[in-house]
Amino acid sequence: MSPVEHTSLGSTALPADLDEAAHRCLVAGFDGATTVPDALKELIDRGLGGVILFTRNIRDAAQVRRLTDELRALRPDLLVAIDNEGGGIGHLGAAGAPEVPGSYALGVVDDPNLTARCADALAAHLATLGITVSYAPVADLQHRPDNPIVRTRSFGADPEAVARHLRAWITATEARGVASCAKHFPGHGGTATDSHHGTAVDPRPYEALQADLEPFREAVAAGVPMLMSAHVVFPALDPGRPATLSRRILGDLLRHDLGFDGVLVGDALEMKAIADEYGQAAGARIALAAGADQVIIAVGDLNVTLDCRDAVLDAVRTGVLAPERVGEAARRVRRLAERYATPPTTTTVPAPAAGGAGLGLRAARRAVRSRGVPPAARGAHVVDLFPPPHPGLNWGGEDLLNEVRAVDPTATGTAVTGECADPDALVEGIVRRCGAAPLVVATCDAGLHPWQVRLRDALLDRRPDAVLVDTGLPDGGVLHSYGRGRVNLRALAEVLAGA
Active site residues: 196, 267
How far does Cα 382 stand from its chain's mean position? 29
Whether 197 and 241 have beta carbons less than 8 Å apart is answered as no
Beta bridge partners of 226: 181, 263
DSSP code at position 268: P
* Cα–Cα distance for residue pair 38/408, rounded to 1 Å: 51
Rounded-to-10 torsion of CA 286, 287, 288, 290: 80
* Cα–Cα distance for residue pair 359/482, rounded to 1 Å: 17
Whether 383 and 442 have beta carbons less than 8 Å apart is answered as yes
* Cα–Cα distance for residue pair 1/19, rounded to 1 Å: 21
Q: What is the largest CA-CA distance in the chain?
A: 78
Nearest partner of 173 among 229, 215, 110, 131, judged by Cα = 131
Whether 230 and 184 have beta carbons less than 8 Å apart is answered as yes
Is residue 221 within a helix (H) or strand (E), and if so which, with residue range? helix 206-221
The amino acid occupying position 159 is P
β-pair type (238-242, 226-229): unpaired
Nearest partner of 289 among 256, 325, 263, 262, judged by Cα = 325
Whether 243 and 250 have beta carbons less than 8 Å apart is answered as yes
